[in-house]
Each structure stands twice: as structure tokens, then as C-alpha cells.
């Protein structure tokens, strides 16, 4: 790949934060994209920033108290990837937009819906692209589930459910000891992390991605790191916009440290990552809705017509989709690679295969706010 200095066609990225998500979220996908490259990273800690840049082959490192400012001001940076803790997304996205940079923002886009509105208003004013990095939306498997659900093949939506649970034993490999997710001032909490994936999956699959859901109940399990303000787990129910004569409901269960089961909880659980949509004449299930590029299956299970007539067993099927129907994409493409394709296309004036509209990100945060409000009895979250 030609260097950024000799190829004006390359979109040059700078990363704010030497984050663990950086390699999968942008660095590796950019290596495989003919129009993208990572030219800079900013990190408060000089040693960590230098090590990160060396490991991933990033030419420039900005560090110290002015490091973020310096990266944003760099004329050789066209787009900024905000990989900072949740509570810093709004400030540094707004600064990057003010500096004339396109911005790819890790999910959740902000801490509040109002902050998200301000980001998109400024991006529109500046003629720039701002995108929430809800990477799972861009995968062909996600699109296929939505297509099946909205096609009418199995009738109208009756209910939807997400189970997204990480067992305690896995958290030692996924989270750091003093993880930013446990800090209230950085907009931590399970619902701000796993919860947005779950809410997004239900809304997108059922065609309600631009609507904030009505939250009918919410029950939080406190996290020991901050039991009065941070949720370790959340169970919430929702009323989806009516798609049939009966009530259409949804449910999310998220837990990033699910204890074991059996006597004294000694038996380890396995992770669960499943979206299920139940319709009038059957159900559609997507296993591994967050990272379908690693492995997934789409189970389509017809149960009969609206009068209960039996459907032939042959109608039931399992699909696996790693490319779009017209062949676009690649067998080895991750969700992040599909996301990068869309982001670059949008900036270059091409129509992306899939796009997340501003209202989708705004109403996602409105829904999260409603979940916490349903739990709250004070200024704390849980």
C-alpha cells in the first residue's frame, strides 16, 4: 500500500486513545482497505502511546496533556476515530468536527441523547461525516435477518428478545481490573456497553431503528465496583411500535459478569449472544449477533399460518451469510471492515451499502436514558 504522503486518495485516520478496540475497530480493517490508512495515534501516556504505535505500525504519536489536541490539529489527519471512554466521546468528537475532521465514534456515541443531537447538528453544519461505530449493523448477516423479518414471510412481528450474557470467568480475559466501564463519571455501566448492542439489534431487526422504544420495566443488578451507580446487568422490557392487532413486546437481558449456576454457583456458564424475533407464523434467530463474522447462524423456524395450519418441516432452514446477496464484501471481512467500507464510501460521496442515520443513534441514547430512568429513584443509575 502506498504511503499517505504519496497517495492523495487515502483517507488518513488518527486514533484518539491507545485503546484495545483500536486494532480490530480500525487498524486491521484499514490495512485491507485501498483508500484508508492510520497515520497517527494520541495517548496521554507517552510510553504506552509509543509502544502502541510501534506494535501497529503507526507513523505518528502524540502524547501528554496536549496530545489529543495536537492530533486533531494535524493537517495530515482527515478523519478521527474516537476510541476513548464513553464519557469523553462528546467533547472530543465536537473538537474534531470543529477542526474539520470526519469522525468515527465508538459506541455508545455519547452519554446522552442531547449530546448526540449536538454532534450531528455540527457535522451537518460543517459538511462532515459523523458515524457511531455500531459495527454489527453493517454485517450481511444482520441485513439478512432484517430482510427476512420485514419481508412478511412469517407474518408480522409479535415479540423480540435479546440474550447477551458474558459469564464471570470470561470477564478476566475481556475487562481490565479497573476497567473504564466501571466508572460512572466516564459513562460506564452494562447498559452503556452491552445494552446498546442489544437495543440496536432489536430495533434494527424489526424496522424500528429510528424510534426510541417505550420502556415498560427495567431491573438493574448493581456492580460491586460502584453498586449505587453502575449496573452489572440489566433486564428491560419494551413496547415496540404496533405491527399487529396485539401488543408487540421486546425484552433485553444483558450481563457482563453472569455468575455460575448449580450449587453455590460453582458450575460455569457459557456466553450467550442471541437475537430472536417471533412472528405470526414462526421465528427467526440470529446466533452471535454482535460478532457474526467470527461465527453465526440464522435459524428460520416456521410454525404455521395465522389459523395454525401446519407448515412443512422442509420450510425450516438455517442460513449463514458472510457476503451480500450480490457478492459484495468478503469471506474474511469483519463487521468492522464492513463498517469502514461504509464510512469511507460516505466521505467519498458514494452510497454506502448500509448506513446508520443520525436519528438511529439519537433514539438509541433516548432508549438507554429511559431504561435508566425506569430504574432510578435518585440521581444514581441503579
CA distance 23 to 330: 19
Residues 6 or more apart whose CB falls under 8 angstroms from that of 172 comprise none
φ and ψ at 280, to 5 degrees? -60, -35
Angle at 326 between CA 161 and CA 200, to 5 degrees: 25
One-letter-per-residue 3-state SS of 131-143: EEECHHHHCHHHH
Are 168 and 260 in contact by the 8 Å Cβ rule? The answer is: yes
Checking 28-35 for CB contacts under 8 A at 24+ apart, the result is 28/334, 28/336, 28/337, 29/334, 29/336, 29/337, 29/339, 29/340, 30/340, 31/1, 32/333, 32/337, 33/337, 33/340, 33/341, 33/344, 34/1, 35/9, 35/10, 35/11, 35/344, 35/348
CA distance 324 to 30: 20
CA distance 140 to 185: 36
Strand locations in the chain, DSSP E?
A: 11-16, 36-43, 60-63, 79-82, 102-106, 130-133, 157-167, 214-222, 231-239, 249-258, 272-279, 282-287, 297-302, 317-319
CA distance 300 to 282: 8
107 noted as active-site residue: yes
Are 20 and 51 in contact by the 8 Å Cβ rule? The answer is: no
For residue 235, the Cα-to-chain-centroid distance in whole angstroms is 18
Say which of 55, 60, 101, 107 is annotated catalytic: 107
DSSP helix/strand/coil, 254: strand
- Cis before 108 (ω within 30): yes
What does each C-alpha distance from 362 to 211, 348, 369 come to in angstroms? Answer: 9, 24, 11
Catalytic residues: 107
Amino acid at each position: 500500500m502506498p504511503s499517505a504522503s504519496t497517495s492523495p486518495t487515502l483517507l488518513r485516520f488518527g486514533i484518539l486513545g491507545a485503546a484495545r478496540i483500536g486494532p480490530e475497530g480500525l487498524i486491521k480493517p484499514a490495512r485491507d482497505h485501498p483508500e484508508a490508512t492510520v497515520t497517527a495515534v494520541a495517548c496521554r501516556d507517552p510510553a504506552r502511546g509509543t509502544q502502541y504505535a510501534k506494535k501497529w505500525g503507526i507513523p505518528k504519536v502524540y502524547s501528554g496533556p496536549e496530545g489529543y489536541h495536537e492530533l486533531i490539529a494535524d493537517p495530515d489527519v482527515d478523519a478521527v476515530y474516537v476510541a476513548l471512554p464513553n464519557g469523553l466521546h462528546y467533547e472530543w468528537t465536537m473538537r474534531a468536527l470543529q477542526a474539520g475532521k470526519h469522525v468515527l465514534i465508538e459506541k455508545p456515541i455519547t452519554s446522552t441523547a442531547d449530546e448526540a443531537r449536538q454532534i450531528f447538528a455540527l457535522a451537518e453544519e460543517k459538511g462532515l461525516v459523523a458515524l457511531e461505530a455500531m459495527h454489527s449493523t453493517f454485517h450481511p448477516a444482520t441485513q439478512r435477518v432484517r430482510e427476512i423479518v420485514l419481508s412478511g414471510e412469517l407474518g408480522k412481528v409479535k415479540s423480540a428478545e435479546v440474550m447477551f450474557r458474558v459469564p464471570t470467568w470470561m470477564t478476566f480475559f475481556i475487562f481490565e481490573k479497573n476497567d473504564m466501564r466501571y466508572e460512572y463519571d466516564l459513562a460506564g455501566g452494562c447498559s452503556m456497553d452491552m445494552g446498546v448492542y442489544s437495543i440496536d439489534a432489536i430495533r434494527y431487526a424489526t424496522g424500528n431503528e429510528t424510534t426510541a422504544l417505550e420502556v415498560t420495566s427495567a431491573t438493574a443488578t448493581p456492580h460491586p465496583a460502584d453498586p449505587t451507580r453502575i449496573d452489572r446487568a440489566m433486564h428491560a422490557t419494551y413496547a415496540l411500535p404496533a405491527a399487529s392487532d396485539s401488543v408487540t413486546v421486546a425484552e433485553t437481558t444483558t450481563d457482563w459478569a453472569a455468575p455460575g449456576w448449580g450449587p453455590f454457583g460453582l458450575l460455569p456458564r457459557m456466553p450467550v449472544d442471541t437475537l430472536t424475533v417471533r412472528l405470526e407464523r414462526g421465528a427467526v434467530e440470529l446466533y452471535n449477533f454482535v460478532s457474526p463474522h467470527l461465527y453465526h447462524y440464522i435459524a428460520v423456524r416456521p410454525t404455521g399460518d395465522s389459523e395454525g395450519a401446519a407448515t412443512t418441516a422442509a420450510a425450516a432452514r438455517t442460513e449463514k451469510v458472510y457476503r451480500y446477496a450480490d457478492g459484495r464484501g468478503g469471506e474474511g471481512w469483519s463487521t468492522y471492515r464492513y463498517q469502514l467500507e461504509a464510512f469511507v464510501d460516505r466521505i467519498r460521496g458514494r452510497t454506502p451499502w448500509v448506513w446508520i442515520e443520525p436519528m438511529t443513534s439519537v433514539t438509541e441514547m433516548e432508549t438507554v436514558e429511559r431504561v435508566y430512568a425506569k430504574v432510578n429513584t435518585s440521581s444514581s443509575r441503579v
